[in-house]
Structure 1
Amino acid sequence: MVGRDVLLDFDKPKTEPGRTVLQVENLTVKNDKNLEAVRSLSLSIKSGEILGIAGVAGNGQRELAEAIYGLRNPVQGKVVLNDKTLRHTDVAQRIKGGVAFIPQDRRALATCPSLSITENMFMKNAHTNYIPQSPFNVNISAMQKATEELISSYSISTPSTKTAAKFLSGGNLQKLVLARELSTKPCLIIAEHPTRGLDVGAMEFVYRTLLAHKERGAAVLLLAGELYEIFRLSDRVAVMYEGEIMGYTPPDPKFTEEIGFMMAGSKQGEIA
Structure 2
Amino acid sequence: METEIILETLELVKRFGSFTANDRLSLAFRKGEIHALLGENGAGKSTLMNMLSGMLSPDEGQILFRGRPVAFASPREAAREGIGMVHQHFMLIPALTVAENVALGMKQGRSPFFGYKRACAAIRELSDRFGLDVDPEKRVSSLSVGQQQRVEIMKTLFRGADFIILDEPTAVLTPPEVKELFRVLRTLKENGKTIVFISHKLKEIREICDRVSVLRLGKLIGTTDQADTTSADLARMMIGRDIQAPIRRTRESGGRVRFEARGLHASENGVRLLKNISFGIREGEILGIAGVDGNGQRELSEALLGLLPMQAGSVLLDGEELGRRHPRRMTALGVAYIPEDRQKDGLVLQMSIEENLIAKEYRSAPFSRGGIVNKRKVKLNAEEQIRKFSVKAPGPGAPVGRLSGGNQQKVILARELMLNPGVMIAMQPTRGMDVGAAENVHRRMLEARDRGCSVLLISTELEEIMTLSDRIAVLYKGELLDTMDREEAELDRIGMLMAGALPNAAEAIIH
Q: 1:144 to 1:246 in 2, by over 3 A?
A: same
Aligned partners of 1:186, 1:80: CA distance in 2, in Å?
16
- Change in Cα spacing, 1:138 to 1:10, as seen in structure 2 (3 Å) is closer
TM-score (norm 1): 0.91
Q: Which residue of 349, 354, 358 corresponds with 1:118? A: 354
Q: Do residues 28 (structure 1) and 265 (structure 2) align?
A: yes
- Name the residue aligned to 2:416: 181
Give SS of 1:108's match: helix
Output the CA distance in 2 between the equivalents of 1:173 and 1:103: 12
Residue number among 59, 64, 84 corresponding to 2:300 in the alignment: 64
Aligned to 2:496: 261
Asked whether the 8 Å contact 1:72–1:89 carries over to 2, the reply is no
Shift of 1:110: 0.4
Whole-Å separation in 1 of the counterparts to 2:366 and 2:270: 40
Name the CA distance, whole Å, in 2 between partners of 1:98 and 1:155. 25
Per-residue deviation, 1:81: 1.2
Q: Partners in 2 of 1:176 and 1:45 — Cα distance?
A: 26
> Are the aligned partners of 2:367 and 2:378 in contact in 1 as well (CA < 8 Å)?
no
8 Å contact 1:230–1:251 — kept in the other structure?
no
- Unaligned runs of 5+ residues in structure 1 are none
Counterpart secondary structure, 2:313: strand
One-letter code of the match for 1:99?
V
Amino acid at match of 1:164: P
Whole-angstrom distance in 2 between the partners of 1:56 and 1:97: 30
**Greater Cα offset, 158-167 or 245-254:** 245-254
**Residue 295 (structure 2) pairs with residue 50 (structure 1):** no
1 CA distance for matches of 2:331 and 2:451?
A: 19
Aligned match of 1:144: 379
- TM-score, normalization by structure 2: 0.50
Deviation readout 1:187-229 (Å, 9 max, x if unpaired) = 0011111111111111111111111100111000001112111
Give the secondary-structure state (helix, strand or coil) at the position aligned to 2:336.
strand
Match of 2:256 in 1: 19
Change (3 A) 1:132 1:34: farther
Which AA in structure 1 matches 2:422?
C
Aligned counterpart for 1:86 among listed residues 322, 332, 344: 322
Alpha-carbon offset, residue 262 of structure 1? 2.1
AA matched with 2:388: S
The aligned counterpart of 2:120 is none
Give CA deviations for 1:37-72 in whole Å, capped at 9, x if unaligned: 111111100111000001111111110011112221
Q: 1:182 to 1:130 in 2, by over 3 A?
A: farther
1:144-201 CA distances to partner (integer Å, 9 max, x unpaired)?
Answer: 1111111111111111111000111122111100110011210001111111111111
Q: Is the 8 A contact 2:426 2:456 kept in 1?
A: yes
Specify which of 285, 293, 310 is matched with residue 74 of structure 1. Answer: 310
Partner of 2:452: 217
Q: Report the residue type matching 1:30 in the other structure.
A: S
Task: Report the equivalent of 1:232.
Answer: 467
Task: Report deviation, 1:257.
Answer: 1.9
Matched position secondary structure for 1:125 = coil
Q: Counterpart amino acid of 2:332? A: K
Work out the CA distance in 1 between the residues paired with 2:433 and 2:315: 31
What is the aligned partner in structure 1 of residue 427 from structure 2? 192
Which residue of the other structure, out of 246, 250, 261, is the alignment partner of 2:485?
250
Looking at structure 2, the residues matched to 200 and 10 of structure 1 have their Cα atoms a distance apart, in angstroms, of 12
2:333 equivalent to 1:97: yes
Letter in structure 1 aligned against 2:505: Q
**Secondary structure of 2:294's partner?**
coil
Distance 1:254 1:15, change over 3 A: closer
- In the aligned structure 2, how far is the partner of 1:231 from the partner of 1:130? 39
Please tell me whether the aligned partners of residues 28 and 76 of structure 1 are also in contact (alpha carbons under 8 angstroms): yes
The two structures, once aligned, show a CA RMSD in angstroms of 1.9
Residue ranges of structure 2 left out of the alignment (5+ in a row): 1-237
CA radius of gyration, larger in: 2
Higher RCO (CA 8 Å, separation ≥ 6 residues): 1
Q: After superposing the two structures, state which structure 1 stretch, 241-250 or 160-169, moved more.
A: 241-250
- 3-state SS of the aligned residue for 2:395? coil
2:274 aligns to what? Answer: 38
1:2 aligns with 2:239: yes
